[in-house]
Amino acid sequence: MKRIRDIVSSRTEVYTIQRTDSVRRAAQEMTRRNVRAISVLDGDRLVGILSEWDIMTKVVAEGRDPETTRVEEVMTPDPMTATPEATYAECLVTMLANDFQHLVVVTPEGRVLGTVSLGDLLSLDKKERDEALEFYERFFQVY
């Protein structure tokens, strides 16, 4: 079974923002990077995650100014995390059981390696199932 390191190891950059950044700056960074969530740091320590949902429900819907609202005011604090050794199935179960779509991957020492999305995990799950199906199709063709 594939591990989360198989997803994050292929990425060349880790996308983060600081907790004191404005929501506008965070949204610009997320748009530039084409991501729907971004890890929030205090220095180099993970303190939260900011998602499009957070921005929509806690900033836009409430009429807050994204220029003056700081990320730490609307982020999801202390997000659940996964280690690179976690399987994609473990992460998928965690995300579905807790109703969120992004999981921060951190080393045992706490260094952020990246973020995986529900879409990343479902794509990996489909790929693994397709590979198994192809194997069984070839196996039964031989017999």
The pLDDT, as a whole number, for residue 142 is 64
Residue 15 has pLDDT above 90, yes or no: yes
CATH 3.10.580.10 correct for 5-142: yes
Model-level pTM greater than 0.75?
A: yes
Q: What is the mean pLDDT of the chain?
A: 90
The pLDDT, as a whole number, for residue 123 is 79
Question: What is the residue extent of each domain of the chain?
Answer: 5-142
**Which residue intervals of the chain are DSSP H helices?**
5-8, 23-33, 52-55, 71-74, 88-98, 118-142
Residue 128 has pLDDT above 80, yes or no: no
| 53, 80 Cβ separation under 8 angstroms | no
The residue-averaged pLDDT of 14-26 equals 97
Report angle CA 83, 88, 89 to the nearest 5 degrees: 120
Residue 132 has pLDDT above 90, yes or no: no
